[in-house]
Structure 1
Amino acid sequence: MSNNPPISGAGWEARLALTFTQQQHKTVLSQREQRGPLALQRPFYPEGGVCHGYILHPPGGVVGGDQLTIAVQVQPEAHALLTTPGATKFYRSAGLHAHQQQLFDINSGTLEWLPQESIYFPHTLSTISTDIHLQGNARFIGLEVHCLGRPASHERFDAGQVTISLRLHRDGKFLVMDKQRIHQLADLESSAGLRSNPVFATLIATPCNTETLEAVQNLCLNLADGLAGATLMREVLIVRYLGQHTATAHQLGRSIWALIRPQIIGKTATPPRIWST
């Protein structure tokens, strides 16, 4: 394990690489590589053998020039649930781009990726890219919530660039490729964009079936705030939310997670303790 200072004038270069392995009916963190300001808090076991972990970014926010990489490997039969203790904030930039790369390699195991929301300040230049590689009967549930500006403080995202991409593979074959670009006001305001909604969220889960889809679609109806819809592609459930409040996005996403977890993973939902603090 090493800790390197940031690149002079160019932000932090940080990497956190984790490997989870099943040992005697319990998932353990078998390998950890840490460079720069990314860390994993001591694992918790609130539901027996499933390893719950909290990823920490001590600087408290991402600035222009930061290059962050989170790489997770889940070995056969292992089961990890990862979240963050708070929102990730992407601050305004004077010209340098910030990039967070997420690499998930799940080999016949289970990964649940359930971070708190990402908040993008006006004038940020940020890119988040996620690559998920599933092998064999690997299972995955992921929920990400994104917020442009700070609606609660009446701060509008009136300038900046945000690019969010996701690629999902199983056994080397593409299942889903998704990209969201907010590079001008039209991307935020147009009917083909976000329709002036500052909050959007995506839930990805696999493997799923039509029965799961129908149950999730019922949860997407009659929301107090915003719109949501669900679809099924090649046993991959995709749920999208668009609205005004991160609380509603989390509430919907976690309700769906609680509904589908027993069907996909065979375990009832046990929320991370950090969500209650």
Structure 2
Amino acid sequence: MTDALPERESMTLPLPRHQRAHGRAELGFGLRLRGTALRHLYHAAPLRVLFPTPEPGEPPMAALVNVGGGLAGGDSLDVAVEIAEGGTAGVTTPAAEKIYRSLGEDSLVSTTLELRRDATLEWLPQETILFDGARFARHMRVRLAPGARLLAAEMLVFGRAARGERLESGALFDSWRLWRDGRLDWADATDLSGGPGTRLSQRFGFNGAGAAALLLLAASPAEALAGRDLLRGAGHDATLPRPGLLLARWLGEAMAVRAALSATLPMLRASVLKLPPQLPRLWTS
């Protein structure tokens, strides 16, 4: 009598693992006889860096392009920008960044900004749109040498506003660390993990806002004070948490928040940075 045949092995196969995108961009600007010029560039898909021809009186402006069209769970982008002593440059994006619904992993964005002595950088990406179910972690690290100046803006949209969508599920962690002359000067974080819809709807929190924006100016104490007075005079709330650090925040619907940013950035460019009172061309084209 023969032994019983072994049970047939399971034919169940593991689910395929989706291919993930890991992009990187490195930018270095230096001061030359004719002004600030690019001296280092590296980019790896899906990130690409373009350089629109500057308007008269404008410093070089780099445009970060995600050729993948957005970020899914497990994708990551890593950006590093360095401005040499005395240089002036800007970084923006040609369109809003989209963070798609995740199947479980986070979409990661890490940015490092290094400004040498008396350097100036404008960090002005357009808004980031979080689809419902997105999981997004963003880390900003800034290091400023003495005399360096940074004008930065970041805007988040909680759901696809044009479709009436709200961010009900998923997660968000957004952190800032800013050092001056080797010492931590300011730190901030937003954590909407564990049910962002409930957190966003709380009255003494986001109060149902569809978008949020941060504007930051790190400059000399006199320049930051002048910038605060300028924004307050125009009807915007602005604070000086530390000498030389100006912060302004907006909550509301996406169109209104973007309009507030679009109104204040040209004012600060003209009054503090002595640049033309206009937005990056890609914001309006």
Q: Structure 1 length normalisation: TM-score? A: 0.90
Say whether 1:255 aligns with 2:270: no
In the other structure, the counterpart of 2:128 is 118
1:147-202 Cα distance to aligned partner (Å, 9 max, x none): 01012211121111011111111111122111011122332111332111120000
In the other structure, the counterpart of 1:211 is 226
How far did 1:53 drift? 1.4
Highest CA radius of gyration, 1 or 2?
2
In the other structure, the counterpart of 2:11 is none
- SS of residue in 2 equivalent to 1:269: coil
Q: 5+ unaligned residues in a row in structure 2: which ranges?
A: 1-16
Q: What pairs up with 1:135-154 in 2 under 5 angstroms?
A: 135-154=145-164
Aligned-partner Cα distance in 2 for 1:29–1:211: 31
Aligned-partner Cα distance in 2 for 1:272–1:209: 21
In the other structure, the counterpart of 1:68 is 77
Superposed structure 1 runs of 4+ greater than 4 Å apart: none
Number of aligned residues: 262
**Aligned CA-pair RMSD:** 1.6
Aligned-partner Cα distance in 1 for 2:282–2:270: 21
Q: What pairs up with 1:1-277 in 2 under 5 angstroms?
A: 9=18, 11-48=20-57, 50-108=59-117, 109-183=119-193, 184=195, 185-207=197-219, 208-221=223-236, 229-232=237-240, 233-245=242-254, 247-277=255-285
Identity of aligned residues (%): 26
Q: 5+ unaligned residues in a row in structure 1: which ranges?
A: 1-7, 222-228
How far did 1:271 drift? 2.6
Residue type matched to 2:116 in 1?
Answer: N
Q: Structure 2 length normalisation: TM-score? A: 0.87
Asked if structure 2 preserves the Cα contact closer than 8 Å seen for 1:186 and 1:193, the reply is: no
Aligned-partner Cα distance in 2 for 1:261–1:201: 18
How far did 1:43 drift? 4.3
Asked if structure 1 preserves the Cα contact closer than 8 Å seen for 2:58 and 2:275, the reply is: no
Query: Is the alpha carbon distance of 1:43 and 1:276 closer, same or farther for their aligned partners in structure 2, counting shifts above 3 Å?
Result: closer
